[in-house]
Amino acid sequence: MRILHLDSGAGMRGGQWQVYHLLRGLARAGHSVLLLAPPSSPLFEKAAAKGLAVEPLSWSRLLARSAAFDLVHAHDARSHTLAALFSRAPLLVSRRVAFPVKGTWASRWKYGRPVHYIAISETVKECLRAAGLPETRISVVFDGVELPDTPGFSEHGPILTLASEDPGKGAALVQEAARLAGVAVKPSSDLPRDLRNARLFVYVSEQEGLGSAALLAMAAGVPVVASAVGGLREIVIDGFTGFVTENRPECIAAVMKRALTDVEACRNISRLARRQVEEKFSLEAMVMGTLSVYEKVLSC
């Protein structure tokens, strides 16, 4: 298969990591892939460093290049718009957010253009269905994460949270909860590194398509305290694969205390959460699930 991938992100967030891992998996499987992305973006640089085909993203390049591919796969909102306007091949879109689709004429036109959608969770799929898209045009493919060779859970390690300037990620809530609980929380800008030796990962969010940061912690065997919102509810089951909290400082503090005082529960959660990632959220499962969608779309 020949797949043209589009991503307009300027940073290296969860969605860009998924694109990076997907490109590598598809290339290893023998498929032809080309990424169009901003030339100054970390995704562009990482893909190029791995020898993957990558070129600067622009409407003119998309228009010129897309006719030579079987499928165009857009991975974010801006590239979705560009492809809806300029793609000369069938368009598939990955949707990662759980926000409602706008009901404007322009939005209805834009969302009517793709032949198929990949939703990263059942929560995101329901958002697309609520916008009027038929279920036959939506497939769920969960995010995948790397599995460290050894779990990183440490009873004496730091409590981590995600370093983010996004106000929807609840940094202020976490810090207030930590004050109430009488503990220190370390914001991490390099989760894979910091999860090698961590006691707990606190992930508070107003809304979440799935929660790849939580999956990274689960893969590392580090117990997660997560908001009971969006796709997080599909991966974090209270007392089994993590701890669930309401988005109020006193509730977060109480759940943190519960996790910190019940070491045996944390050990069990560490084991069960890692097993769940192995079974449902591996990189291999993500790549194979995406390939299955490509095959279904191109066979129609």
Check pLDDT > 80 for residue 27. Answer: yes
Check pLDDT > 80 for residue 230. Answer: yes
SS3 for 129-159 is HHCCCCHHHEEECCCCECCCCCCCECCCCCE
Per residue in 169-205, pLDDT (tens digit) is: 888 999 999 999 999 999 999 999 999 999 999 999 9
Question: Span 159-280: which CATH code?
Answer: 3.40.50.2000
Please check whether residue 39 is in contact with residue 56, taking contact to mean a CB–CB distance below 8 angstroms: yes
> Per-domain residue ranges for the chain?
2-143+282-299, 159-280
User: What distance in Å separates the CA atoms of residue 157 and residue 263, rounded to the nearest whole number?
Assistant: 13
Topology agreement, domain 2-143+282-299 and domain 159-280:
yes
For helices 171-181 and 249-261, give the axis angle rounded to 10 degrees. Answer: 60
DSSP-derived secondary structure letter, 169:
G
> Which among 248, 210, 211 is positioned nearest to 125, based on CA atoms?
210
Domain 2-143+282-299: top CATH class: alpha beta
Is beta strand 200-203 parallel, antiparallel or unpaired with respect to 159-162? parallel
pLDDT of residue 151: 80
